[in-house]
Structure 1
């Protein structure tokens, strides 16, 4: 039975599900090519993993079917006006020190006219929040005094499949124009990956952990 391992925010559920579909497809395709499964058995396995087992276990009364949404990836040629795209809001997203996804929601018009190039302000305290309360943790020395800029990385901009009138973009944190803030998670990740590559010739990779058992019925 499938689980996305999503936590707290819908983005994690979506990405986990998207990745799991790719993994299951590759595994079952290989099983069919090797003669371990027939196509009909592979289709049954997909139904069991993603729908039927959960429906039977939890006694869910759901109809068959799925929702197909095409994610719209933006590029540098995106128009400054969002009227044609029917976008109302843009979520400017970052991860705090506790691993929580957080965002500033900006009206689409303001985002494309101003925030796209100049970013939005964010208090230092936002990186000191704990996972259980909206207040900086003791000892962080991150307070409500002082501000950094969330600078959108436009290469990450996309239309949200689950909320099609909103877009989301990941942001870098800058203390001054062009200068990364030392607590910016993306800046720290770039530094660490560079050290691993330059000093140890190690490339860091990350992904979702997809686990499932594939069993074949021997008694019919």
Structure 2
């Protein structure tokens, strides 16, 4: 079973919503006889009212990773039973390009029901009169909406549990750039030009911004392990602690939104644009993944070998091999924007080659003590969609018992082409169109995404490429800093 919304159970086998009416199972006979209105989630309603919450934002992350929302007055959300019956919207919202709200030819059409997942209800501490909640998406007839990426990753996680008894934890490194405006010219400039982990970057005014970001994250139950200055001008990193996979992905969406709001409150601009400055390190959202079973500790864990590196379990090797095997098509999901490929270049710590290593910053996949890291993910990716693809590829590696090649500890860019060929090392796609071509040719990912979502994603991304390709560099830069 997939995660159930309150008053609804979701049947993963046939994709139907069960019990699609109001959640009245606990209605007392006295209440029915007196026709007293029954409010589902009454305790949550009372808690939010007491806290001064007046509105609920129903959130979803669209195909191009824009977080969209419908804002509902608190009273209406609970008393009119929208918390159990959902909010109507339009299917075409899943197929809007990053360039603007344009309905592309062949986009899905018709009504859509946004069904709140009440387990994700959370007060927004940086705007405490609002709470937010994620949703699952359905058609009016109760069928799941094919372009619901959050439901997609939930299905993949369910399959992993049913087929392999596997559950996953994830943690993320959020790299972002803080911009200020020049007081004289109004031009956008990086907040500083400090180097990696340079203490001088954390003066009181900058530390106050980052401290506020961390406190706002922690107030939403998003645990932070550390923050520090990154290498590029104005670039910082906040590391999110491991959590169960779906919750971690939701946290990543909330964290990106939180950081942008907090920066704005301080008169700054926060952007996850993959390559803010030519010749400098880019922004990524490195994803750390660990596996476990109901009877074992982390599958990835092991003991140190004579080399000092952890010996990775056989099962984890198969999983990592599956990810590496499909990294070319996966790149379209992990780095899905026109500007993503400005970051994925050799010798810039981006992991621009299909190799893995122990701590090798030039490898796309890195092995840690009890997890592995996918470096390709950036801030323009819908995380639910991207990690659904990664998990599906890894599970297929387990299914097929794929063999993980030896680790590479050298910089792949320093090898000859013959040396790279010998270890099956490829350069990642150099453009989004090239990555989309690889995605089109991958039968497994086509099956996992399904024809409706795959075709929608391809249509939107190919349309974006045509529109963005004719933009001037400054116009393109402005678009992506503003959107992401």
1:134 and 2:101 matched: yes
**Which aligned pairs between 1:75-154 and structure 2 lie closer than 5 A?**
77-79=43-45, 83-114=49-80, 115-139=82-106, 141-143=107-109, 146-154=110-118
| Partner residue of 2:144 out of 180, 199, 205 | 180
CA distance in 2, matches of 1:215, 1:90: 40
SS in 1 for 2:63: coil
CA contact (8 A) 1:119 1:151 kept: yes
1:166 corresponds to: 130
How many residue pairs align between the two structures? 139
> What is the distance in 1 between the residues matched to 2:42 and 2:141?
20
Bigger CA radius of gyration: 2
Kindly state the Cα deviation for residue 194 of structure 1 after the two structures are TM-superposed: 2.5
Residue 93 of structure 1: how far off its partner (Å): 0.3
Equivalent in the alignment of 1:209: 173
Q: Aligned in 2, Cα 1:164/1:191: closer, same or farther, shift over 3 Å?
A: same
Pairwise CA distance, 1:136? 3.0
Cα distance, 1:184 vs structure 2: 1.4
Residues 88 and 215 of structure 1, relative CA distance in 2, 3 Å threshold: closer
Change over 3 Å in CA distance of 1:132–1:205 after alignment to 2: farther
**Residues 35-114 of structure 1 correspond to what in structure 2 (within 5 A)?**
77-79=43-45, 83-114=49-80
**How far is the alpha carbon of 1:103 from its aligned partner?**
0.5
For structure 2, the 5+ residue unaligned runs are 1-40, 176-194, 200-484
Q: Which moved further from structure 2: 75-84 or 172-181? A: 75-84
Distance 1:181 1:169 in 2: 18
Shift of 1:117: 1.8
Q: Does the aligned pair in 2 maintain the 1:92–1:170 contact within 8 Å?
A: yes
* Aligned-residue offset at 1:104: 0.4
Out of 149-158 and 80-89, give the one that drifted further: 80-89
Give SS of 1:206's match: strand
C-alpha distance 138-83 of structure 1, shift in aligned 2 (>3 A): same
Question: What is the aligned counterpart of 2:154 among 162, 185, 190?
Answer: 190
TM-fit CA distance, 1:109: 1.3
Q: Provide the C-alpha distance between the structure 2 equivalents of 1:194 and 1:127, rounded to a whole number of angstroms.
A: 23
CA contact (8 A) 2:111 2:140 kept: no
Q: Distance in 1 between matches of 2:58 and 2:174?
A: 28
Where does the alignment leave 5 or more consecutive residues of structure 1 unmatched? Answer: 1-74
Residues 205, 98 of structure 1: alpha-carbon distance in 2 compared, 3 angstrom cutoff? farther
Q: How large is the Cα RMSD of the aligned pairs?
A: 2.9
C-alpha change, 1:184 and 1:133, in structure 2 (3 Å) is same
> What is the rounded CA distance, in whole Å, between the counterparts of 1:210 and 1:127 in structure 2?
25
Q: Report the 3-state secondary structure (helix = DSSP H, G, I; strand = E; otherwise coil) of the residue aligned with 1:208.
A: strand
